[in-house]
Chain A
């Protein structure tokens, strides 16, 4: 079983600060996805990265896939209370066609 480790588990910051969360594995994934989950709801996809070294930006969110396709990071610039949520990374392995999820990073942004 491929394991995805996310760090930190919990992050509390003030509005306007920057933050970075990490997703690491010892295994290579075909692609990696980041989801955000709000209380009482299912996760919602933010981005998919597929190429080693790829960087994608979604407004104030920057996603990077490691060169070896084993790790990824999510950086949020000038965080806002609306960024509060559980951030999950999911690795996709084409050989067995399933998603492997990390345990998530709970982000709380206070006004």
Chain B
């Protein structure tokens, strides 16, 4: 069965360190998204990609970067982790179909703590 996975599921790091969160999907979807979820804010879009070599900034992209070298993977990198980046991170994928977007399939999330 197709799926979307994230690793690690839990990560504790220190301020200033570089951290990379992995996202891998086997749906063969062109669209991939990274969100962070914080209490009271819901899901906020960090970066997204519509295909290989395509990346775009979302509403809270400062301090984060992504790269898309193949269809399956969209790793999220925190260049220099800050305590404000402590959050739960979700990766999602979807496929554009006609005039309506299909559902987004979400990974299980990565809980990141920056000390």
Contacts and interface: CB of A to CB of B under 8 A. Distances in A.
Partners in one complex: yes
A7 interface: no
A90 B16 CA distance: 33
Nearest to A103: B42
Nearest to A100: B45
Name which of B35, B104, B108 has the most chain A CB atoms within 10 A of its CB: B104
A82 B44 CA distance: 27
A102 B41 CA distance: 8
A43 interface: yes
Interface of B: 31, 33, 35, 40-45, 48, 50, 58-59, 90, 92, 96, 99-101, 103-104, 106-109
B101 A92 contact: yes
Contacts of B109: 40-42
A45 B48 CA distance: 19
Given A44-B106, A45-B104, A92-B100, A101 B58 contact: no
Contacts of B43: 43, 88, 90, 101
